[in-house]
């Protein structure tokens, strides 16, 4: 099983790929959140609870076709969450009156086909990510930095996976240590500062925030590799050291420019929050 995130407009949809069955399982609540256009995740969860009970009483097969798998939550921990295949969700959509019904149905229908393409040619997933960010108004400079940062992140998590760090909670703990060290704020607090809920923090970082995040993670990996860090204790030490290198660089830049690297700006729609201004690093 492989956890993943995908975007529908400004919503993040959690999903798990079952490699053995070659099928995607999607978070039902995330889809319901899109359909009901709820900003609050708890409201979407309550809506699904009521709808699930109603469908069960009606004897609908939809509820029994759902599964439960562990997916990452906003706090970085994994919890059992109702999931369903694209086929089941296409039928579920019909039970929720929503102007987003047709767009989400078309989107779900595309997902399976895109996955088959990406398996044959992995570069397609990168192209699709670039296209999505372009549609959301990101500059080419920002997109390049986001993709470079993701590559740096992947190399670090590959190292962790090969050195007795468990994907999920332990990844989240180390990530937060690095972030807390370089940014002087936790991942959760940084998201709250930007007004984010289920959105990916990195998708709402400025160019400078992305660069310092990448520097911290690159430094962490190089230190861990040099010291052959294995297990949580040794990798926590490497994470603190790597984050400290980026912190010192951040403080030097802030002292020279008089501007804070960590900001409340995000790429949320104007109704929810202001967009990152061009003078924050984008051109």
pLDDT classification of 40: cutoffs 50, 70, 90:
confident
Q: Give the model's pLDDT for residue 241.
A: 98
pTM to 2 decimals? 0.59
Q: Are 59 and 42 in contact (CB under 8 A)?
A: no
Residue intervals in the chain for CATH 3.10.260: 2-120
pLDDT at 66 over 50: yes
pLDDT tens-digit profile of 159-196? 998 999 987 778 889 999 999 999 999 999 999 999 98
pLDDT classification of 282: cutoffs 50, 70, 90:
very low
- 201 secondary structure, DSSP code: G
Q: Give the model's pLDDT for residue 279.
A: 41
Long-range contacts of 269-276 (CB under 8 A, 24+ apart): 269/10, 272/39, 272/195, 273/194, 273/195, 275/137, 276/204, 276/206
Q: Which of the two residues, 259 and 63, has the higher pLDDT score?
A: 259
d(CA 252, CA 258): 10
As a CATH number, domain 2-120 is 3.10.260
Q: Are 82 and 27 in contact (CB under 8 A)?
A: yes
Mean pLDDT of 195-204: 83
Percent of the chain with pLDDT over 70: 85
Mean pLDDT of 124-145: 82
pLDDT at 269 over 90: no
Percent of the chain with pLDDT over 90: 45
pLDDT at 125 over 70: no
Q: Give the model's pLDDT for residue 280.
A: 42
pLDDT at 10 over 80: no
Contacts of 67 (CB under 8 A, 6+ apart): 25, 82, 83, 84
């Amino acid at each position: 099983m492989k956890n993943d995130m995908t975007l529908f407009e400004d919503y993040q949809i959690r999903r798990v790929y079952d490699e053995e069955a070659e099928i995607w399982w999607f978070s039902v609540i995330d889809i319901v959140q899109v359909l009901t256009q709820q900003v609050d995740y708890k409201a979407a969860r309550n809506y699904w609870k009521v709808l699930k009970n109603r469908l069960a009483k009606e004897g609908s097969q939809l509820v029994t076709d759902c599964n439960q798998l562990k997916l990452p939550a906003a706090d970085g921990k994994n919890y059992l969450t109702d999931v369903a295949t694209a086929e089941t969700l296409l039928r579920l959509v019909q039970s929720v009156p929503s102007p987003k019904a047709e767009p989400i149905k078309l989107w779900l229908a595309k997902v399976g086909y895109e996955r088959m393409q990406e398996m044959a040619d992995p570069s397609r997933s990168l192209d699709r990510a670039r296209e999505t960010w372009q549609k959301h108004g990101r500059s080419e400079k920002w997109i390049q930095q986001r993709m470079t940062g993701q590559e740096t992140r992947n190399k670090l998590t590959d190292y962790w996976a090969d050195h007795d760090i468990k994907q999920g909670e332990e990844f989240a703990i180390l990530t937060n240590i690095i972030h807390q060290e370089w940014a002087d704020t936790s991942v959760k607090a940084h998201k709250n500062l930007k007004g984010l809920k289920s959105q990916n923090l990195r998708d709402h970082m400025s160019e400078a925030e992305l660069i310092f995040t990448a520097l911290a993670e690159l430094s962490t990996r190089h230190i861990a590799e040099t010291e052959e860090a294995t297990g949580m204790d040794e990798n926590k030490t490497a994470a603190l050291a790597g984050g400290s290198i980026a912190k010192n660089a951040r403080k030097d830049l802030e002292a020279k420019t008089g501007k804070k690297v960590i900001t409340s700006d995000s790429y949320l729609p104007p109704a929810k929050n202001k967009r990152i201004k061009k003078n924050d690093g984008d051109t």
